Amino acid sequence: MRQAFVAVILVACTHPKEAAKPAAPAAPAAPTAKAPPPKPGAAPQVADLGCPAPTCVYHAGGNAYFTCLAGGAGLCFHFGGPCAPADGCMYDPADKHYKQCAKPVEGTCAQWGAACAPTSKCMFDPADGLHHSCAAPSGGGCASYGAVCAP
C-alpha cells in the first residue's frame, strides 16, 4: 500500500505549468499536531505531505538557469524547463559573478546590469560546483562561503 501512496504523491505533485514559473521562497510550514493512534480495524491514517516548491537555479553544465524540481545538499537533482530568478539576480559564468539581468532569455542573460547577490544568499560556488550560503556577499561574488544550501 505504501508504494501506491508514493506513486499518488508523485503524480499529484506534478504541475508542469506551475513548475516553469520561478517560485517565491516558501514560508516554513507550521508544525502539525500528531494524529491519535488508529482504532482497531480502522483505515490507516496518511500524513499530510505538501509538494516541494520548485526554484530557479543555475546549472553549470548548461550555463543557464532551469527550474529545480528536486534538490538539496548544494545541488539540484531534477531539472525542468529554463527560467529566470524572480529577483533578476543571475550568475554570469563568463566572469563568475552575480549580476542583475536586464534581459533574460531562456535561462540565460542577454543584457547584464550591476553586481548583485541573490535574495536567498544561496550562491553557486564555481570552485566545487555546489550552492553554498554566503555569509559575506561582495560585488557579485562571495567573500565567505558557508555550508551547502538547497538551491
The pLDDT confidence band at residue 3, using thresholds 50, 70 and 90, is: very low
Please tell me whether the overall predicted TM-score, pTM, comes out greater than 0.95 for this model. Answer: no
Task: Round the average pLDDT of the chain to a whole number and report it.
Answer: 80
Q: Residues with Cβ < 8 Å from 71, sequence gap 6 or more? A: 55, 57, 77, 78, 150, 151
Q: What is the pLDDT of residue 12?
A: 43
The pLDDT confidence band at residue 35, using thresholds 50, 70 and 90, is: low
pLDDT at 77 over 50: yes
pLDDT at 43 over 70: no
Three-state helix/strand/coil letters over 85-150 = CCCCEEEECCCCEEEEECCEECCEECCEEEECCCCCCEEEECCCCEEEEECCEECCEECCEEEECC
φ and ψ at 90, to 5 degrees? -125, 150
The pLDDT confidence band at residue 53, using thresholds 50, 70 and 90, is: confident
Take residue 37 and report the three cell numbers written for it: 493512534
Take residue 52 and report the three cell numbers written for it: 516541494
Which tens digit of pLDDT belongs to each residue from 106-144?
999 999 999 999 999 999 999 999 999 999 999 999 999
The pLDDT confidence band at residue 105, using thresholds 50, 70 and 90, is: very high
The pLDDT confidence band at residue 57, using thresholds 50, 70 and 90, is: very high
pLDDT at 22 over 80: no
